[in-house]
A = this chain, B = another copy of it.
């Protein structure tokens, strides 16, 4: 393989730039050329290509976001768009493609592979919700952002003896809420994977109050319900004013953590190796602490499972 391309797709995640850098540098190490595709699959269709050299990825390892931009492009589900993309790629002499994104992006990569254009996938999403890998690039950074925010909110919660509901990202996956809950010592955590009992949350608040603790932090993943809705439910039950904080988009940004950069480096390099070895239609990931690869299809046909032992632990530690 002489020339490959790389793109980012779906929601941006800290560490995507580190992954792009690793793809470019690993490919250059093997004397391959690398083309950056701007705006994800839309750029593939429209031919937004640019040759990347070592200098192009200088000074990006520590930057949040993605230097290749990202975009939603639902049209790419259709055959003609995919064929046009392949036409653009082959016209440039490009022989393989690395797709960095969530499992939604993997579907496009799989379809291109099935139509004859070799792709590999790298899991990049803050939600940690790609099946088949223990870890996705961006999760650690988003998690630390969330925990730093909760640490700040705890300052004011303690000073005013308030209870706070904090809404974090996670439509289908509770990983951010779960890890943040343990890391920030939240009193209760609500995740999409587990049903909740409003009376138990109230009982927990009251138990704390009896013990002299007059501030509490409750974390809710957006997929369960809006923070304001939960606060209202709690106010009805307790008669106490509950504050709400919706962390929102700040969870996506910021310099990636060391871990996200290292994992991005390892997965990016492995993705290039897979293309060289002719192992196509595969996703890289981490299992049992080791770099692995598996069918792209496996990722989007299965559901990610959060580690529910953390949920149990969270309850035990927040007695």
Q: Choose one: B143, B158, B254, B269; the contact of A152 (CB below 8 Å).
A: B254
Q: Are A211 and B55 in contact (CB under 8 A)?
A: yes
Given contacts A182-B261, A253-B156, contact A317 B69 (CB under 8 A): no
Given contacts A22-B317, A25-B319, A63-B155, contact A69 B212 (CB under 8 A): no
For A239-269 the 0/1 string (1 means CB < 8 A from B) is 0000111111110111101110110011001
Complex CA distance for A140 and B179, rounded to whole angstroms: 15
CB-CB nearest in chain B for A313 = B269
Q: Choose one: B62, B164, B185; the contact of A249 (CB below 8 Å).
A: B164
Count residues of A near B (Cβ-Cβ below 8 Å).
81
Query: Is there a chain B Cβ closer than 8 Å to A74's Cβ?
Result: no
Query: In chain A between 158 and 203, which residues have their CB closer than 8 angstroms to a CB of chain B?
Result: 158-161, 164, 179-180, 182-185
Q: Are B262 and A310 in contact (CB under 8 A)?
A: yes
CB-CB nearest in chain B for A154 = B253
Q: Are A26 and B316 in contact (CB under 8 A)?
A: yes
Interface secondary structure of A, over-half rule: helix
Q: Choose one: B66, B151, B313; the contact of A266 (CB below 8 Å).
A: B313
Given contacts A69-B160, A317-B26, contact A61 B243 (CB under 8 A): no
Give the residues in chain B near A243, CB-CB below 8 Å.
249
For A79-109 the 0/1 string (1 means CB < 8 A from B) is 0000000000000000000000000000000
Q: Are B149 and A250 in contact (CB under 8 A)?
A: yes
Least CB distance from A27 to B in Å reads 10
Give the residues in chain B near A71, CB-CB below 8 Å.
160-161
Least CB distance from A272 to B in Å reads 10
Query: Is there a chain B Cβ closer than 8 Å to A128's Cβ?
Result: no
Least CB distance from A206 to B in Å reads 15
Q: Are B317 and A159 in contact (CB under 8 A)?
A: no
Q: Are B252 and A156 in contact (CB under 8 A)?
A: yes
Q: Choose one: B149, B258, B289; the contact of A134 (CB below 8 Å).
A: B289
Q: Choose one: B22, B212, B252, B313; the contact of A155 (CB below 8 Å).
A: B252
Q: Are A140 and B253 in contact (CB under 8 A)?
A: no
Query: Is there a chain B Cβ closer than 8 Å to A144's Cβ?
Result: yes
Least CB distance from A287 to B in Å reads 8
Give the residues in chain B near A156, CB-CB below 8 Å.
11-12, 64-65, 249, 252-253
Q: Choose one: B69, B134, B212, B254; the contact of A151 (CB below 8 Å).
A: B254
Query: Is there a chain B Cβ closer than 8 Å to A28's Cβ?
Result: yes
Give the residues in chain B near A136, CB-CB below 8 Å.
none
CB-CB nearest in chain B for A265 = B182
Least CB distance from A228 to B in Å reads 11
Q: Are A258 and B183 in contact (CB under 8 A)?
A: yes
Q: Are B317 and A29 in contact (CB under 8 A)?
A: yes
The 5 nearest A-B residue pairs measured at CB:
A152-B253, A64-B155, A155-B253, A288-B288, A65-B155
Pairs A–B under 8 Å by Cβ, sample size 5: A11-B156, A59-B154, A61-B185, A151-B255, A155-B254
